[in-house]
Amino acid sequence: MSPVESGIRAMSDASPVECDVLLRDGTIAHVRSLTPGDLAALHDLVDRSSERSAYLRFFTGGRATAHTYMDRVTAPGHQGRALVAVVRGRVAGIAEYTPYGDGTADMAVLIGDEAQGEGLGTLLLEHLAALAAAEGVGTLIAQVLSANTAMLRVLRDLGLEVEVGYNGATADVLVDLTPGVRLMERLAARDHEAERASLAPLMTPGSVAVIGAGRDPAGIGHKVVRNLIDSGFRGAIHPVNPRATTIAGLEAWPDMAAIPVPVDVAVVAVPAAAVVKVARECAATGVKGLVVLSAGFAESAGRDAERELLAVCRTAGMRLIGPNCLGIVNTAARLNASFLPHTPVPGDVAVLSQSGAVGAALLDRLAVSSFVSVGNKADVSGNDLLEYWEDDDATKVIALYLESFGNPRKFARIASRVGRRKPILLVKSGRSDAGDRAVRSHTAAAATPDIAVDALVRAAGVIRLDNVRDLIDTARLMAAQPLPAGRRVAIVGNSGGPEAMTADECERNGLLVPELPTSTALAARIPSAALHNPVDLTAGATAEDIALAVTEALAAPQTDTVLVVYTPPFGSGADATKQAIAEAARGATKPVVACVMGEDGLIDGLVPTYAYPEQAVRALARAAAYAEWRHLPPEIPGPTLDDPKAREIVKGTDGWLSPELTERLLRHFDIPVLPSLTVHDAEAAAEAAESLGVPVALKVTGPVHKSEAGGVRLNLRGAAEVQQAYQEMSASIGTAMTGAIVQPMAAQGVEIIVGGVNYPTFGPLVMVGMGGVTADLLADRSFRMPPFRVDTAAEMIADLRCSPVLYGYRGRPKTDTTALATLVTHVGHLMDTLPEVAELDLNPVIVTPEGAVAVDSRIRVTPRRPTPSPYIRRLR
């Protein structure tokens, strides 16, 4: 394989399949391979194109040449590969490449006039490049008329390296298919623009139809109409019911076709059996988005009906929320297209919930900018809404309750970008064990799917929370107050006991309670006060005293946050004290939070208050950790390039690699490995020991967990000892032994485990932890999603509870943690490069002052599974 082929293989996993993709204006295009049956549609495309478009594409002959080309491209035996894009049921564009056989290929694109200017040409070129790369093409070549500035601009903006040479009236264009960071950035920008455009009609519609709205106030459809009216929705509201002329005082229509004006959004509240028919009617009248409240789809026995519903929406270019959802809310647009029992309070938090009940609970307790109940997530998902809320001026904080991820890797890419601007809070249900672990490696047993979620969201800066209560507490703080610049907290209050408990809770959550200088003003006002932090003003402190303490604590350079702990009804009473706290906090650049015992909410819409100190402290700790993440440089990995030599090592293997191949693969990725010799009988083991030099270690190669099977003997000091040890292990373990390896004894050091596991959904995950026989007993581990930098690996190591033993704990020698971090980074590179590697265990890795070396290694390989490529834009 050539270097060019290796470089572009990153795009080949995405050898394009039939898929739906958003265009710049939010329209949905269906991209697929060309078939001979498309001939009539292609001729129709030519007929709809102008003579100028045909000239720019074919140079001469106009439409006649274009028709001839369509006959040729669909003829049997044609050598090119072509893709077509279907928009609203009609072929709107075609892109083709014809290979020359030398790693290059000629390419050409024709876009119908009605689809030009909306990014369809760019979209087809993206997919064509991926298809060509999958088939070994390194460079696409195009001859473009110099006057065709639109196509030249499309090629230059694609995100790949483009070379343009002008030759009179034409330009020769070379497109290098090697992907890179620029391509990722351009794809992300195009995806973002398209997502925003596709969701805007749903989130800010000009008109709403409610299909299935009845006269009964208890009916779901009627509740939606009533909520739209009560929220002050500025657009037109169209109830649809064939058996009513008015509903809630509004004119009702018998069906969608009867409504005389365009409708942006249709809210569907009819029985499940009628939903697909209704969706077709909406498609025929040009509706841009559906919100399907009806249940009875994939959540029960209606999976086929849900697929049919989605197909109708995609063909018509309609985005779909639901089915089986509560509806949508946008308080800034005065839109309440839901059947929620209470009117949401306008605020700064955008909420997505996959559970209607959880969503309703969140809206009872949070002031929101918008709310989307996604239900079954047949179409619109968390990834889509993150794209929309990223630029939503009304949203400061994004809160998600999810039961599943549609595309976790894409979620991480989007969230890591959005999180640099707005905090993302996540409650993810479904924490579960990994199931049967008996025959799995230490890493695979430890790296449960829930651990994978933790690693995924941590890398993206997402704040994962255990429950809805924590989400509410954290959202209130982050929406109302600035982020803390550090972890130093000044505690101010009127009761020593609760303040002491608050200080203890700060220490447990990684927050600091520094000593503060004595305030002369406070000392003069309250001589009995303790002023060094916590600042205990005593029970007699007035509202003015507490306000002064807050002001002085905010001014102190030793503080990053002020936490007020007030126990009512002492002093001036709760109302006066809360007002004083709000006035002191107004305009502050440091966050101020309060614990007014027994009370949750916001003081004067500004200062979050919590019933118990623990709530306030934990919310502050999350805000501080998020602020630290925002200051870290983003991980911007380059494209994952194919490694033909590594792939050759694992080729044809399905199961655990042999010791020889394991060592070869690890050394290929510059992972230090203790040398070993494989043996299959006692005599060979003795000879290997003499060859390596005693003392040696003897380890079986069959069982996954060698120590438990009695398959490890250390410090064998002669050939006879080695021979006897082999015979004893063979007698004890039997045919499961399969052989053994002989190794020289490693130097004494700290035993660490480094491992990896590859989930089909989440991708690779790397682990580092306390190793040796205590790996499972202590369960001291840290996980990250590769690829990552060495400093991230160093952070993983520092996260371990056992890490002090690496840094010289109680006089022990300091180990080479830099070498360990480098080794962990290389394991991450291996896992990211070879999706065939399902499990990898280096246990132990011996870390000494001189370096780090893997002493025992296991790698399990499975047939390569295709994974969604980041270089292909597509809707789920």
Interatomic CA distance for residues 799 and 457, integer angstroms: 16
Between 633 and 561, where is the model more confident? 561
Domain assignment present for residue 643? The answer is yes
Question: What is the length of the chain?
Answer: 876
Handedness of CA 795, 797, 801, 805 (dihedral sign): negative
pLDDT range class, residue 498, cuts 50, 70, 90: very high
Is residue 707 located within the same domain as residue 848? Answer: no
Is residue 663 located within the same domain as residue 698? Answer: no
Is residue 815 located within the same domain as residue 835? Answer: yes
Is residue 595 located within the same domain as residue 462? Answer: no
pLDDT at residue 680 is higher than 70: yes
Domain assignment present for residue 186? The answer is no
In this structure, what CATH number is given to the domain that contains residue 465? 3.40.50.720
Q: What is the pLDDT of residue 546?
A: 96
Domain assignment present for residue 187? The answer is no
Is residue 67 located within the same domain as residue 215? Answer: no
Mean pLDDT of the chain: 91
Provide the residue range defining the domain that includes 696.
675-745
Is residue 627 located within the same domain as residue 557? Answer: yes
Domain assignment present for residue 23? The answer is yes
How many structural domains are present in the chain? 5
| Domain end point (choices 707, 724, 745) | 745
pLDDT range class, residue 13, cuts 50, 70, 90: very low
The DSSP secondary structure of 218-229, one letter per residue, reads TSHHHHHHHHHH
Q: What is the pLDDT of residue 4?
A: 34
Mean pLDDT of 689-702: 90
| Domain end point (choices 438, 457, 477) | 477
Domain assignment present for residue 714? The answer is yes
Q: What is the SS3 assignment for 805? A: helix
pLDDT tens-place string over residues 719-739? 999 999 999 999 988 888 988
Mean pLDDT of 214-225: 96
In this structure, what CATH number is given to the domain that contains residue 151? 3.40.630.30
H/E stretch holding 316: helix 303-316
Percent with pLDDT over 70 in the chain = 94
pLDDT at residue 128 is higher than 50: yes
Provide φ and ψ at 324, rounded to 5°: 65, 55
Q: What is the pLDDT of residue 9?
A: 41
Domain assignment present for residue 812? The answer is yes
Domain assignment present for residue 342? The answer is yes
Q: What is the pLDDT of residue 807?
A: 92
Is residue 500 located within the same domain as residue 465? Answer: no
pLDDT range class, residue 710, cuts 50, 70, 90: confident
CA distances in angstroms from 162 to 134, 152, 173, 213, 835, listed in the order given:
19, 10, 7, 55, 30
Domain assignment present for residue 766? The answer is yes
pLDDT at residue 436 is higher than 60: no
Structure tokens at 780: 């001291």
pLDDT tens-place string over residues 303-322? 999 999 999 999 999 999 99
| Domain end point (choices 458, 477, 496) | 477
* Phi and psi based region of residue 458 (left: phi greater than 0; alpha: psi -120 to 50; beta: remaining): alpha
Between 316 and 705, where is the model more confident? 316
Is residue 291 located within the same domain as residue 421? Answer: yes
Q: What is the pLDDT of residue 2?
A: 37
pLDDT at residue 440 is higher than 80: no
pLDDT tens-place string over residues 771-820? 876 666 677 899 999 989 999 999 999 999 989 999 988 888 999 999 99
pLDDT tens-place string over residues 533-564? 999 999 999 999 999 999 999 999 999 999 99
Interatomic CA distance for residues 659 and 383, integer angstroms: 42
Mean pLDDT of 572-576: 95
pLDDT at residue 81 is higher than 60: yes
Mean pLDDT of 33-61: 91
The CA angle 104-108-112, to the nearest 5 degrees, is: 160
Is residue 709 located within the same domain as residue 618? Answer: no
In this structure, what CATH number is given to the domain that contains residue 515? 3.40.50.261
pLDDT range class, residue 180, cuts 50, 70, 90: confident
Is residue 738 located within the same domain as residue 750? Answer: no
Provide φ and ψ at 845, rounded to 5°: -100, 120
In this structure, what CATH number is given to the domain that contains residue 755? 3.30.470.20
Handedness of CA 209, 211, 215, 216 (dihedral sign): negative
**Token pair 């999603």 in the structure block, residue:** 785
Q: What is the largest CA-CA distance in the chain?
A: 99
Q: Which residues contact 439 (CB under 8 A, 6 or more apart)?
A: 704
**Which candidate, 307, 243, 303, 253, places its Cα nearest to that of 281?**
253
pLDDT at residue 227 is higher than 90: yes
Is residue 110 located within the same domain as residue 168? Answer: yes
Is residue 592 located within the same domain as residue 681? Answer: no
Query: Which 8-state DSSP code applies to residue 49?
Result: S
In this structure, what CATH number is given to the domain that contains residue 733? 3.30.1490.20
Q: Which residues contact 107 (CB under 8 A, 6 or more apart)?
A: 95, 96, 97, 98, 125, 128, 132, 140, 141, 142, 175
Percent with pLDDT over 90 in the chain = 75
The DSSP secondary structure of 118-179, one letter per residue, reads TTHHHHHHHHHHHHHHHTT--EEEEEEETT-HHHHHHHHTSSSEEEEEEETTEEEEEEE---
Mean pLDDT of 74-80: 90
Q: What is the pLDDT of residue 1?
A: 37
CA distances in angstroms from 493 to 174, 586, 594, 597, 714, listed in the order given:
70, 18, 9, 11, 61
pLDDT tens-place string over residues 499-537? 999 999 999 999 999 999 988 888 889 888 888 999 999
pLDDT range class, residue 7, cuts 50, 70, 90: very low
Q: How many CB atoms lie within 10 A of CB 729?
A: 23
CA distances in angstroms from 660 to 663, 682, 694, 698, 740, listed in the order given:
5, 19, 21, 15, 11
